[in-house]
């Protein structure tokens, strides 16, 4: 019985390791693959930023319950953080891709920071600060749109 229990535990541990191994992104072996990942990350970040902008706009116009707005902005913030973390694990395949990595990483940080500022302002009922956060997020969205356009066309 003790041997069977050890075998089951070992099998379970192996399954956990295999499942966890599937969660680790593989390396981008070519510049094209890295550009594709950057474009996908920028698209996801853009979605999160736009969600924050819509929620912030609804709050500014008093057209949504504060709890709904808070949930939407908090989830957008979590999404941006997750995307940023995922993109950060990808190593550029060669030095020529470093500029793209720096650009997307900076935009990811801007998205996270802007969504955090928006969440804080909305929870405090600070309309001026929320407006400032929304203006920053609008600029971040424009830059993300540029990255998506450049990297999907190139």
Higher-confidence residue: 7 or 49?
49
Residue 18 has pLDDT above 70, yes or no: no
Instruction: Specify the range with the lowest mean pLDDT, choosing from 29-33, 67-71, 114-118, 121-125.
Output: 29-33
* Domain positions in the chain: 2-153
For residue 96, the model assigns a pLDDT of 93
Q: What is the pLDDT of residue 106?
A: 98
Q: Taking Cα atoms as reference points, which of 144, 85, 89 lies closest to residue 111?
A: 144
Average pLDDT for residues 101-110, to the nearest whole number?
98
How many other CB atoms are there within 10 angstroms of residue 96's CB atom? 10
- What's the distance, CA 142 to chain centroid? 16
**Are the CB atoms for 59 and 124 separated by under 8 Å?**
no
| Inter-residue long-range contacts of 104-107, CB under 8 Å, 24+ positions, other chains counted | 104/38, 104/41, 104/42, 104/147, 107/42, 107/45, 107/140, 107/143, 107/144, 107/147
What pLDDT shows up at residue 75? 98
User: What is the spatial distance between Cα 67 and Cα 55, in angstroms, rounded to a whole number?
Assistant: 11
pLDDT, tens only, 42-64: 999 999 999 999 999 999 999 99
């Amino acid at each position: 019985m003790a041997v069977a229990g050890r075998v089951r535990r070992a099998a379970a541990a192996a399954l956990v390791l295999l499942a966890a191994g599937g969660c680790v992104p593989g390396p981008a072996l070519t510049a094209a693959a890295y550009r594709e990942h950057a474009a996908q990350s920028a698209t996801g970040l853009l979605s999160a930023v736009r969600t924050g902008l819509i929620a912030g706009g609804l709050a500014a116009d008093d057209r949504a319950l504060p709890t709904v707005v808070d949930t939407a902005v908090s989830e957008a913030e979590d999404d941006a953080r997750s995307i940023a973390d995922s993109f950060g694990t990808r190593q550029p395949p060669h030095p020529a891709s470093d500029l793209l990595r720096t650009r997307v990483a900076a935009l990811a940080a801007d998205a996270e920071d802007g969504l955090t500022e928006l969440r804080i302002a909305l929870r405090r009922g600070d309309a001026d600060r929320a407006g400032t956060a929304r203006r920053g997020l609008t600029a971040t969205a424009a830059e993300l749109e540029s990255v998506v356009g450049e990297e999907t066309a190139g």
